[in-house]
Amino acid sequence: MFTDYYEVLEISPNANSETIERIFRYFAMRYHPDNRETGNESRFSEIVEAHNTLRDPVKRAQYDILYREHLGLRHELTDGARDGGGMDRDAVIQANLLSLLYV
């Protein structure tokens, strides 16, 4: 399953390295398992994984290729519904979107 690291860090794919570091520090403090109020070990692990990928220029370039392919796939799912009309078109779009959520 594809993980959207930009969504994990809640940043734009155009974010620079300074922004990535700043946002990472904020979320790391917030979700660190030692934080008794807001700590969340699984969320913290996602944030660290996203940060480690996006801060490294080579890893980020490789990830961005996969990211663009994933975005293209998401758009293709709704493109198939263009030929249908009315309720049929809506049903196809709904089924495709639900398949993204429950795969």
User: Domains (ranges, CATH) in the chain?
Assistant: 1-55 (1.10.287.110), 63-103 (no CATH)
Beta carbons of 81 and 93 less than 8 angstroms apart: yes
Distance in angstroms (rounded) separating the CA atoms of residues 21 and 18: 5
- Could you read off the pLDDT of 8-66 as tens digits, one per residue? 999 999 999 999 999 999 999 999 999 999 999 999 999 999 999 999 999 999 999 99
69, two tokens: 């392919």
- Could you read off the pLDDT of 35-51 as tens digits, one per residue? 999 999 999 999 999 99
